[in-house]
Every structure is written in C-alpha cells, then in structure tokens.
Amino acid sequence: DEAYLYRPLLEIVRVPAVGQLVEHVLKEHSSREETLEFGGQERSLRILARPMPLGEERFGVLITVRDETLIKRIESVRRDFVANASHELKTPLAAIRAYAETLQLGALDDREAAERFVGNIVTQADRINGLVQGMLQLSRVQSGSALKIESFDAREAVEPCVAAAGAMARSKGVKVQAEMPAEPMVIRSDRDGFQTIASNLLSNAVRYTEDGGTVSVLLSSEADWCVFQVQDTGVGIQEKDLERIFERFYRAEKDRSTDTGGTGLGLSIVKHLVQGLGGGVTATSEPGRGSCFEVRLPRFGS
C-alpha cells in the first residue's frame, strides 16, 4: 500500500520482536523464523524473515507472516482429547488390575469372593469397551463420512428406540410414553444417525430419572422440519452445566453418570450427528424437576 512506502518498519508494524528479527537478518544475511503470540495465546503468528538481494551489496528483508492460530487451537483440542481419553480409561483399568491382583494373592481360593471379583472385572471391561466404542463412533461421526441419506419413516425409526428405552425404564420403575404422528412421517436423512440420536437421548432420560418418573417422547413436524423431543421428570441439569453437557467427556455428576454406565460421549455424538444432518439440538432443564432435549432436523435432507 502506497501509504506504507518508505516509512520506518516499526511505525507500521508496532511489534518490537519483528524489528529485531529484521535487524538480525540484515546483519547476518541469513533467514530467521519465530512464532509470536498476541493476547495471551489468542493469536499465534509464525514470522519468517529472509534476506532479499536488492542489487549489488544491498539487502532487503522479505517477511512472510502465517496465521497459525487455528492450527494451534486444533492441536490443543487434540491434546485435551488424548489427556481426557487416557484419564477415562485409566480408572477402569486400575480397577481391573486391583481385582486381578487380589485374586492372584489368594482370593482365588475363596469361591464367593472370586466370583464377585470376576464379575467386577467384567463390568469394568464393559466400561472400557463402551468408552472405546463411543470414541470410535464419535470419530466416525466427526469425519462426516458415515452419513447415508435416504428416505424413511421417522415414526418407524423411532419406535424400536422407544421400545428399547421402555424395557430399560421398566426395570427401574420409570414410565416411557410416546406421542407420534398418526400418519407416516417420511424424512430424508441418515436412518442410523437418526436412531443413534434418539437412542442416546432416550437412554440419558431413563438413566437420569428416578423410580416413579416419566420420560415423554414427542415426534412431530413443523414446516420442513422434523422435531424430536425427549422430556423427563428426572434429576435435571444445573444452569452452569447446561452449556457444557455437549462437550466430549463432560459429565455434570461424574459419580451418577459412571454408576449408570455413562461415558460422557453420548451427547457429543448427538451434537455432531445433528450438525452433520443440517439440524440443531437444544437442552432446557429445571434442576430437580427434569430436562427436555429437542432435536430439529431438516425433513428433506441437506
């Protein structure tokens, strides 16, 4: 830009580190690279300064600036994921090891205790399996390649999910009721994905609702949208957790979630699937009284 021509560098780029970089290159006639962080780690710029011959014995400096903020952020998300996943896997693994060691140290001879310990080992191995399956599913969903768009009846797709939740609910004294449209409701979407969304929300609703509670499912259409709602009269979600429950591994009540077989991945899978299908998901709740999850998907594909 004309306005910048022939003016001292530091008047234009008010970053002393860039001035030092240029001075160094002019003095040494060799390239130099540096990453500069601005605003904490909000912006990360990779600066490459190279000597540029400008005729006999005269040198200029060519500066290339690359914005690496996004790459840095992705790297940090990935690091967090690995740290969280390892942490989640460590607990059941440590339990398996402890039970196995106790068996090795003599509990094998106590038939009753041995059976209990082996049962616990199986439970913990199931938990690890659940985590690994959840992570694989999440990675498939995030890559977006798993989606297969076809026409199907949403009512028919939801029914087996409601039936499965009903069976799980009965064993803990929770009622599941469903309100479906009277006619078939054809939508163009990914059937498996749709069923995963329904199953995850239903299984949460049942798991977080106590004896005597009710889970209500509502399937309806609004203009070109398919609306799927799961409402429960369960423990509810605090306001501070509400905005975070869709994050991977986030659990409002860690103990309760683990006791009921939770992995902290179910809602994250729901969110990515819904987004991949061009829709949206929202959660509302009154702590202690219940929660409501609403999914909206375009009826005619995206």
Contacts with ligand ADP by CB under 6 A lie at 204-205, 208, 232, 234-237, 245, 250-253, 257, 262-268, 291
Nearer to ligand ADP, 61 or 230 (CB): 230
Cβ(170)–Cβ(145) below 8 Å: no
Q: Helices 266-276 and 111-143: crossing angle, nearest 10°?
A: 20
The torsion angles phi and psi of 271, rounded to 5 degrees, stand at -60, -45
Nearer to ligand ADP, 162 or 235 (CB): 235
Nearer to ligand ADP, 44 or 233 (CB): 233
Nearer to ligand ADP, 169 or 252 (CB): 252
Rounded distance, CA 137 to CA 270, Å? 11
Of residues 44, 47, 51, the one with CA closest to residue 13: 47
**Neighbouring C-beta atoms of residue 237, cutoff 10 Å:** 21
Nearer to ligand ADP, 251 or 299 (CB): 251
Residue 20 one-letter amino acid: Q
Cβ 236 to ligand ADP shortest distance, Å:
6
| Geometric angle at alpha carbon 89, from 203 and 292, rounded to 5° | 25
Cβ 162 to ligand ADP shortest distance, Å:
15
Nearer to ligand ADP, 119 or 261 (CB): 261
What does the block give as tokens for 37? 């962080």
- Residue whose token pair is 């199986």: 122
Rounded distance, CA 154 to CA 188, Å? 9
Cβ 228 to ligand ADP shortest distance, Å:
14
Q: At a CB cut-off of 8 Å and minimum separation 6, what does 99 contact?
A: 117, 118, 120, 121, 124
SS3 of 33, please? Answer: strand
Cβ 206 to ligand ADP shortest distance, Å:
8
What does the block give as tokens for 167? 């069976």
Cβ 249 to ligand ADP shortest distance, Å:
8
Nearer to ligand ADP, 69 or 84 (CB): 84
Cβ 129 to ligand ADP shortest distance, Å:
14
Nearer to ligand ADP, 44 or 231 (CB): 231
How would you classify residue 229: left for phi > 0, otherwise alpha for psi between -120 and 50, otherwise beta?
Answer: beta
Cβ 120 to ligand ADP shortest distance, Å:
20
Q: At a CB cut-off of 8 Å and minimum separation 6, what does 44 contact?
A: 35, 36, 37, 38, 67, 68, 69, 71, 72
Cβ 204 to ligand ADP shortest distance, Å:
3
